[in-house]
A and B are shown apart, each in its own frame.
Chain A
Amino acid sequence: MSGVTTTDQQILLKHGAGGRAMRRLIEEAFLHAFETEPELRPGVIGVSAMDDGGAVRIGDRWLVLTTDSHVIQPPFFPGGDIGRLSICGTVNDLAMMGATDVLGLTCAVILEEGFSRPDLQRILASMHDACREASATVIAGDTKVMGRGEVDGIVINTSGIGLTSRLIRDCGLQAGDRLIVTGTIGDHGMAVMARRHGLELESSLESDVAPLNGLIAAAMDAAPDAIAAMKDPTRGGVAGSLHEMASKSGVGVLLDGAMLPVRDAVRGVSELVGIDPLHVANEGKAVIGVRGEAAAARVLAALRAHPLGRDAALVGVCTDDHAGMVVLDTGIGRRLVAEPEGELLPRIC
C-alpha cells in the first residue's frame, strides 16, 4: 500500500509519542548512530539501555545524567505550564534512577519571534518555583530566537545531573516483586486533552506535574535495598512504563483493576473519549517495584506520609507467567493491557 512507503520514509507525530513507533525509531536510528563507536567504557549505562537517563560510575557512586525537551500545546494548562513541566521532567528522570539530590540543571530555551514577554516571565517564574520545590538550581543556560513559523511558540530543553550511591534501573524486576503507583493516574494527559478540546469537565481536571525527588527519597529511605525498579509513567502512561519494565526485566505483570487510583473526573473523561487512563500521561507519579511484602508496606506508608504520595497504592505483582505482558484483573475477568501505540495526543509534554 502507498502508506507503507510514506511511513518508512518520513518522521510522523507518532514517532515522538512514547509508544512502540518511538521505541522502534530510537532502536533503528538513534542507537545505531550513538552506540557503535566508540565502545562504551565499563561502568557506563548508555542510550542502549533506554532508561530514564544515562549513568557513569565514579568511585563507589553513580553520576546520573539526563535531558528532556519540552513542547506542549497549550503551554499553559490546568495545574501547570511548560516551565514547571521542563524542570519536573528532568528532576523526575534523575530521581527514577535513584539520584534524588540534583547537583545542577541546564536550561535551553528556543523562542518564536513575537512570543509574549509576559508569558515568558510567567513560565520563568514557575520554573523558579519548581526548582525551589525540588531543591535544584539551573546552573547553565542558552537562549535562541527563531523567525515566525520556524518554531511553535516556545521549546524548552533541560538537562540535569545527580549523584547516587544506589543506582536504580527500570529493568530490575523479579517475579514476586510488588508494584506501587505513587498516586492517581492519568491526571496530566486528561487535563491537557480537556483543555485542548474544550471539554466541559475541565474545571475538575488538573495536571499532576510535580518534582518527585523528595517523595522518592522518602521511599528509598523506607526500604533502602528493596527498591527493585522505578519509572515515571509520562507518555504512554502506566501501561507504557509497565510494558517496558516487564519486557526489560523478563517478568509478567498482574494488575488489580480495583486498586488503581483514578480520579472520578479522569474516569469520566476516559469513558467519554474511550481512552484507558492506564495509557494516559502523568507528570508527577512513579511506578515502583519493591522486593518483599514487608518492604512494600514500608514504602507505601512512607509514600502516603508525603504530600505528593497520599493516594499511593499497591496495584499489582510481578509474575513468572506471561513474561513481557501486562494483565489486568477487572474484578469480573482478565484482559491484557496493550502496549501504547503512540499518538493518543501529540505534544503533551
Chain B
Amino acid sequence: MEFRDPARARALAETLTRLTDQVGREVSVMHVCGSHEQAIAKFGLRAAFPPMLNVIMGPGCPVCITDLPEIDEAIALAQQPGVRIATYGDMVRVPGTAGSLADAQARGARIDTVYSVAQAVELAATTTDEVVFFATGFETTAVATAAVLIAGVPENFSVLSAHKYIPPVMEIVSEMPGTRVEGFLAAGHAATITGSAIFEPFVERHQKPVVVAGFEPLDILAALAKLVELIRDRTPAVVNTFPRCVSREGNRNAQRQLWRVFRTIGGRWRGIAHIPNGNLRLRDEWARVDARRRFAIDVASLWQRAPSTLVRQCICGDIMAGIKAPSDCALFGGACVPDQPVGACMVSSEGTCRIWHQYGGIPNLRGVSCPV
C-alpha cells in the first residue's frame, strides 16, 4: 500500500495545487491509457485535483478505438463456415456497422472468448476448424501476439490484426484544431517496452512535455505535478516518473520481436481520425498467418443496414479525442449503459464512459461537502 498512502497523496495533491496556481490559468493535460482513468476514478483523484487542472482521458482504450470496419471484418470471418474467431471478452460486445460479434454469435457464428493470444493458440490445437485470433490492443498486447507467432503456431491459426500504436495518435491530438492539451501523461506499461525515449521526437516537434507515469494513486499525482511543473517552466521534455519499471531504452528484445512481426500503416481510429502509422499490420513474411491474406473477407454484405439513430447520437469519438466528457452525452447512463452499450466507450472496462458509469457517473465530487 506504499503507493496509496493517503497522507502522502494529500501532500502531493497540495504540491499539484500550488504548481497549478503558479501557472495562473486553467491547464489541460491528457493521459492516453484506460488504466490511468481506472485509477483516477477508483481512488476519487479528480476530487483531489486542483479546480484549474483539467485531466482529460484521450484515446487510451484499445477496445474503443478499434474501428467499425475492423469489427465488421471479424464478423464477416466468423460467418464463414469452418472459421472460429477467438478474441478478448470486451471485443465481443462492441457494436460494428451492423451489430456486434455477440449478435453474430446469436445467429450461429462461433466466437470464443480468450484471455490471451496463447489461449487462442491452445484452442487451435484442439480443433480442425480455422481459428482466427482477432488481435486488439496497443503495443503491449501486440508484443504478446508477435512472441506467439515467432514461437510457432498450428497450421489452422491466423491473426486478424487490429493492433494500434500509441505514439502517432499523440501527434494527431496535438494538432487537432481547438485542442487545449498542453502536455501528456504516457502509460507506464507500454513504455516498459518502447522506453521513454520513444517520446523524444514528439516533444521536439510539438514542444509539449510528456511524463511517463505508473498506475498507483501516488504515481499519478507525482507525474501530474511534474507535468504541470514542466508546463509552468515552459520546458518541453520527456520525464520518466516511473523508473522502477521504465527505462529510457525500454525492452529491446520485445521491440525486436514487435517489429519483426508488425509494421505500421495508417488507418482510422474509431471516432477520432485517420492516424498515420497508427495501425499495426503483419509484415509480408507473415502472410501465411495473416487472416486478411488467408481468407477473402466480404464486409460489404454487412453494410446493408444503416446505423441506428442511437449510434448516430453517440459522441464516443469526441470523448476519446478529449473534446467532450461522458456527461456531455445525451445517451450516457440512459440509453447507453454497460449492459446495453451504444458506443464502444461504454463496453470496455477501459472505456471512459464505462469507468465513469462504474464509479457513479460523476467522478468529480469536489462540490460535495462533508458533514463529519
A residues touching B (Cβ–Cβ < 8 Å)? 1-4, 7, 14, 21, 175-176, 254, 258, 274, 276, 317, 319-322, 325-338, 341-343
Complex CA gap A176/B371 in Å reads: 8
Shortest CB distance B138–A (Å): 18
Residue numbers in B under 8 Å from A317 (CB-CB): 371-372
Q: A320-B371, A337-B360 are in contact. Are A332 and B10 (CB under 8 A)?
A: yes
Complex CA gap A318/B217 in Å reads: 27
Q: A1-B308, A332-B6 are in contact. Are A325 and B95 (CB under 8 A)?
A: no
User: What residue of chain B has the Cβ atom nearest to residue A14's Cβ?
Assistant: B339
Residue numbers in B under 8 Å from A276 (CB-CB): 42
B188-209 residues with Cβ-Cβ distance < 8 A to A are none
Q: A3-B340, A332-B45, A336-B362 are in contact. List 7 more A-B contacts (CB 8 A).
A: A2-B99, A326-B360, A333-B13, A333-B45, A334-B44, A335-B41, A336-B363
Complex CA gap A317/B370 in Å reads: 10
Residue numbers in A under 8 Å from B308 (CB-CB): 1
B358: Cβ under 8 A from any A Cβ: yes
We find that the number of chain B residues with CB closer than 8 angstroms to chain A is 41
The answer on a CB contact under 8 Å between B371 and A334 is no
The 3 A-B residue pairs whose C-beta atoms are closest, nearest first, are A336-B360, A333-B44, A331-B6
B359: Cβ under 8 A from any A Cβ: yes
Q: A327-B365, A333-B46, A333-B48 are in contact. Are A258 and B371 (CB under 8 A)?
A: no
B303: Cβ under 8 A from any A Cβ: no
User: What residue of chain B has the Cβ atom nearest to residue A252's Cβ?
Assistant: B368
Complex CA gap A333/B39 in Å reads: 11
Shortest CB distance A238–B (Å): 15
Contact of B9 (CB < 8 Å), options: A1, A328, A331, A343: A331
User: What residue of chain B has the Cβ atom nearest to residue A7's Cβ?
Assistant: B340
Residue numbers in A under 8 Å from B359 (CB-CB): 335-338
Shortest CB distance A258–B (Å): 7
Q: A1-B310, A3-B103 are in contact. Are A334 and B365 (CB under 8 A)?
A: yes
The answer on a CB contact under 8 Å between B339 and A335 is no
The answer on a CB contact under 8 Å between A21 and B48 is no
B342-372 residues with Cβ-Cβ distance < 8 A to A are 342, 349, 357-363, 365, 368-372
Looking at B6, B41, B46, B311, the one whose CB has the most chain A CB atoms below 10 A away is: B6
B144: Cβ under 8 A from any A Cβ: no
Complex CA gap A325/B10 in Å reads: 25
Residue numbers in B under 8 Å from A333 (CB-CB): 13, 43-49, 365
User: What residue of chain B has the Cβ atom nearest to residue A326's Cβ?
Assistant: B360
Number of interchain pairs (Cβ within 8 Å): 96
B183: Cβ under 8 A from any A Cβ: no
The answer on a CB contact under 8 Å between A343 and B6 is no
User: What residue of chain A has the Cβ atom nearest to residue B371's Cβ?
Assistant: A319
Contact of A335 (CB < 8 Å), options: B4, B310, B365: B365
The answer on a CB contact under 8 Å between A334 and B47 is yes
B338: Cβ under 8 A from any A Cβ: yes
The answer on a CB contact under 8 Å between A328 and B371 is no
Shortest CB distance B370–A (Å): 7
Complex CA gap A343/B93 in Å reads: 15
B residues touching A (Cβ–Cβ < 8 Å)? 4, 6, 9-10, 13, 38, 41-49, 95, 99, 103, 217, 308, 310-311, 337-340, 342, 349, 357-363, 365, 368-372
User: What residue of chain A has the Cβ atom nearest to residue B93's Cβ?
Assistant: A3
The answer on a CB contact under 8 Å between A341 and B46 is no
Residue numbers in A under 8 Å from B13 (CB-CB): 332-333
Complex CA gap A338/B342 in Å reads: 19
Complex CA gap A274/B38 in Å reads: 10
Complex CA gap A335/B364 in Å reads: 7
Shortest CB distance A22–B (Å): 12
Complex CA gap A322/B103 in Å reads: 39
User: What residue of chain B has the Cβ atom nearest to residue A176's Cβ?
Assistant: B371
Residue numbers in B under 8 Å from A21 (CB-CB): 339
Looking at A21, A317, A328, A334, the one whose CB has the most chain B CB atoms below 10 A away is: A334
Shortest CB distance B61–A (Å): 14
Complex CA gap A7/B49 in Å reads: 40
23 A-B interface contacts by CB (under 8 A): A1-B310, A4-B340, A7-B340, A21-B339, A176-B371, A254-B372, A274-B349, A276-B42, A327-B365, A329-B370, A330-B42, A332-B10, A332-B43, A332-B44, A332-B217, A334-B47, A335-B365, A336-B359, A336-B361, A337-B359, A338-B360, A341-B337, A342-B339
User: What residue of chain B has the Cβ atom nearest to residue A175's Cβ?
Assistant: B371
Shortest CB distance A329–B (Å): 7
Shortest CB distance A338–B (Å): 5
Shortest CB distance B320–A (Å): 20
The answer on a CB contact under 8 Å between B357 and A338 is yes
Complex CA gap A328/B370 in Å reads: 11
The answer on a CB contact under 8 Å between B370 and A338 is no
Complex CA gap A37/B337 in Å reads: 35
Shortest CB distance A34–B (Å): 26
The answer on a CB contact under 8 Å between A335 and B47 is yes
Contact of B44 (CB < 8 Å), options: A14, A176, A321, A329: A329
The answer on a CB contact under 8 Å between B9 and A338 is no
Residue numbers in A under 8 Å from B4 (CB-CB): 332
Residue numbers in B under 8 Å from A322 (CB-CB): 368
Complex CA gap A214/B342 in Å reads: 48
Looking at A317, A327, A332, A336, the one whose CB has the most chain B CB atoms below 10 A away is: A332
User: What residue of chain B has the Cβ atom nearest to residue A279's Cβ?
Assistant: B358
